[in-house]
Amino acid sequence: MNKNIITVLIAFIGLSICLVLNSCSNVDNDSNKKEDQKTIYPSNVIAFFEQWNLILGDGSNAGQAVNVEHKDFFYAANDGENDWVVFKTPNAGNTHGTSNNTRTELAQLKKWSPMTDAKMEATLKVVNVSTTGDARVASTYSVVIGQIHSADGHENEPLKIFYKKFPGHSKGSVFWNYEINTAGDDNSGRWDYSYPIWGYDFSVVGTGENDFPPEPEDGIELGEEITYEVEIKDGIMNLKFTSEGHETKTFTKNLITSEYAKRSDIPEQVENLFVPIGQDGVERENAYTEEGLFFKLGCYNQTNGKDPKVNKVWCSGAETHGGDIQKQYADGNYAEVWFKSASISVSDDAISNAGYFQANDGLSKKVVYPNEVIPFMDKFKMLMGDGTNVEDLTEFEHKDFFYTVIDGTRRWVVYKTPNSGVTSKNSSNTRTELHEKRDWVPEQGGKLTGTCKVMQVSTSGDARVAASYSTVVGQIHSGEGHENEPLKIFYKKFPGHTKGSVFWNYEINTAGDDNSGRWDYSSAVWGYDMSVIGTSKEDYPAEPTDGIELGEEFSYEVNVYKGIMYLTFESEGHETKTFTKNLIESEYTNPSDLPDQVKKLFVPIGQDGTERATAYKGELNYFKQGAYNQTNGKAPETNMVWCAGAETYGGDIAKQYENGCYTEVWFREATVGPGTAPK
């Protein structure tokens, strides 16, 4: 064979071999790349996810999280040394059940009796807590990293393990809370008792919104590992907490015999933190004995965007960017917890926990109508802030005016109305207010009760105008004659003040056919009466020392019996006040009877009438309850008592709501019925 041909063949064979080898090498490289890109699921890191359902920060139940990840809430990560499972959730998203707070959290699929054996262990590090909130609110800047939850009864929580760190601090606190299993059917009085582990307990708060307590000396830093062990045996909960460089802490708690069964058992910590907001219940004697319990583990963010005046323990007022998750993640308004290892074991007697998930999945999106909270709605009709009349209030709500909310412990009916909307024929003011369908005369009588808190009054108005910055939360209204009002119960708070006033007005039933001379006489309950006004548009009187704050509960009872009106006002921490007024015999029949208050407030604007001798005798009346906004946009020069000159944005309701030019009142209890003999 030709030598040149042989040389070419050898070269060709060599090239072919090289190409084959390169080809093989490329296949191996691609395979390695694919192997490198293979997803590591959380269930590859901790192999116990078949025992849980996973609740995500968008409120959804993702089911068993085997081979599951979610880039925003739940995934695996490596810190250079170990693989971890990441649980992450924003300050605001959709919640699960009736909670105010978002969570990315495992919830056990089985429930067990506290009399059997159960155990949960975990090693974790907290990577982030919210950077915004209100330091006066105990739950702000905190996250729950492990729980025991009841699946039955009130569904309370005998264990919550917290991590909390104030902004600017290097070290945070780890503590655990026990929530009482409240005696009776009303769970609104429930409270937590908190035990410090490292750093502070739950009750250590700031004195101002951004005024933080000193940094805890023995605290835990973000990124510092901690381990907890929770073991239940024969009704006793045993807790152990360890962290390198810190003292190991152990605790025991009896879950089947209460130490809080009497009012005198309430600890001082609870008296200071929960009792002022009306959470002062006692616990059933056998605590959690007869209930199914289950473990929870993950990242249950305790910092939310709800206004602190809703609940000063659980509502943080943090930044939420309108619920935009990515914006919250971008500026630190979220909680993030990494778990390196975890395990649970429970008795073979444990049974399915499906009932808990059936009751709570999607519950936060379920409509709860006002008549489900206050059942007397069938006895009323309503006028809303846009002028809409509603005759049937059963299974009715309106997202702008009339709906229900949860404040962290209780569900309330919300009445909301702007400074300017559409009003009734004889009024300058908008209202979202109930109107009793039954009419009655004072001699026959009737009774109305309400427990409420005012959440908002207009932030604009004229301080010289008596009606500015106020709302009426209850009335008696006449249904004939001049259609005057023998009772209006007011709440009023000037801008910049923390405390407002509660007072009630009696409007005379004017003698004769001309009603233009009618006037109100105002009686102070807590704080001032209606006549205390400013000397100029933005010159406010001193803040009342015995006033009521926005978000502070008070109750009233209006009892009309045999022509006499008996009024009772109560509020925790305030003196109970009672008043009596004759509705069928006037004390204002002569010009000389006009009180000095009326001469100061009403006579200068020409309202100087006298009352018919029989007052409201024989005249049909009815109760009203809700939010009757007394701050309107009419020029004060028109009437220096009732025309507030407030901002109305041309009647644009959304803009008024956005800028605080509205009133909002929440009721949690109310009754209506016949009058009764006074006690």
Residue 23 scores a pLDDT above 50: no
- 117: helix, strand or coil: coil
Instruction: Please name the amino acid found at residue 404.
Output: T
Contacts of 226 (CB under 8 A, 6+ apart): 123, 124, 125, 163, 174, 220, 241, 242, 243
Across residues 155-168, what is the average pLDDT?
A: 97
Across residues 151-175, what is the average pLDDT?
A: 97
| Averaged pLDDT score across all residues of the chain | 92
Window from 16-30, 129-143, 365-379, 441-455 with minimum mean pLDDT? 16-30
Check residue 344 and give its pLDDT: 97
User: ∠ CA 509-513-515 to the nearest 5 degrees?
Assistant: 50
DSSP codes, 634-657: S-GGG-TTT------GGG-HHHHH
Structure tokens at 379: 């006895």
Q: Given pLDDT bands bounded at 50, 70 and 90, which one contains residue 381? A: very high
Nearest to 446 by CA among 578, 614, 613, 620: 620
Structure tokens at 365: 């999106």
DSSP codes, 339-403: EEEEEEEE-TT-EE-HHHHHHHTTGGGS---HHHHSGGGGGEEEE-TBS-EES--TT--BTTTEE
Residue 389 scores a pLDDT above 80: yes
Q: Given pLDDT bands bounded at 50, 70 and 90, which one contains residue 59? A: confident
219 and 198 Cβ atoms separated by less than 8 Å? yes
Check residue 421 and give its pLDDT: 84
Residue 16 scores a pLDDT above 50: no
Check residue 424 and give its pLDDT: 66
Residue 165 C-alpha from the chain's centroid: 22
Structure tokens at 656: 């008024």
Across residues 646-663, what is the average pLDDT?
A: 96
Residue 7 scores a pLDDT above 80: no
Check residue 260 and give its pLDDT: 98
Rounded distance between C-alpha atoms, residue 669 and residue 659, angstroms: 29
Check residue 5 and give its pLDDT: 39
Residue 69 scores a pLDDT above 50: yes
Check residue 144 and give its pLDDT: 98
Check residue 36 and give its pLDDT: 45
Residue 95 scores a pLDDT above 60: yes
Check residue 12 and give its pLDDT: 39
Check residue 38 and give its pLDDT: 73
Q: Are strands 431-436 and 621-629 parallel, antiparallel or unpaired?
A: antiparallel
Of all residues in the chain, what percent carry a pLDDT higher than 90? Answer: 87
Of all residues in the chain, what percent carry a pLDDT higher than 70? Answer: 93
Classify burial at 290, counting beta carbons within 10 Å of its beta carbon; exposed 0-12, middle 13-18, buried 19 or more: middle
The string of pLDDT tens digits covering residues 538-569 is 999 999 999 999 999 999 999 999 999 999 99
Nearest to 457 by CA among 495, 425, 405, 486: 495
Residue 353 scores a pLDDT above 70: yes
pTM score: 0.77
Query: Torsion-angle region of residue 400: left (phi > 0), alpha (psi -120 to 50) or beta?
Result: alpha
Across residues 320-346, what is the average pLDDT?
A: 97
Q: DSSP character for 311? A: -
Buried/exposed code over 264-286 (b: 16+ C-beta within 10 A; e: otherwise): eebeebbeebbbebbbbbbbbee
Rounded distance between C-alpha atoms, residue 639 and residue 518, angstroms: 13
Domains within the chain, CATH numbers bracketed: 42-365 (2.60.120.200), 370-673 (2.60.120.200)
The string of pLDDT tens digits covering residues 477-521 is 999 999 999 999 999 999 999 999 999 999 999 999 999 999 999
Nearest to 270 by CA among 195, 172, 160, 174: 195
Check residue 4 and give its pLDDT: 43
Residue 463 scores a pLDDT above 60: yes
Nearest to 133 by CA among 292, 315, 275: 315
Check residue 9 and give its pLDDT: 36
User: What element of type H or E holds 598?
Assistant: helix 596-601
Polymer length in residues for the chain: 679
Q: Are strands 83-90 and 74-78 parallel, antiparallel or unpaired?
A: antiparallel
Window from 9-13, 299-303, 368-372 with minimum mean pLDDT? 9-13
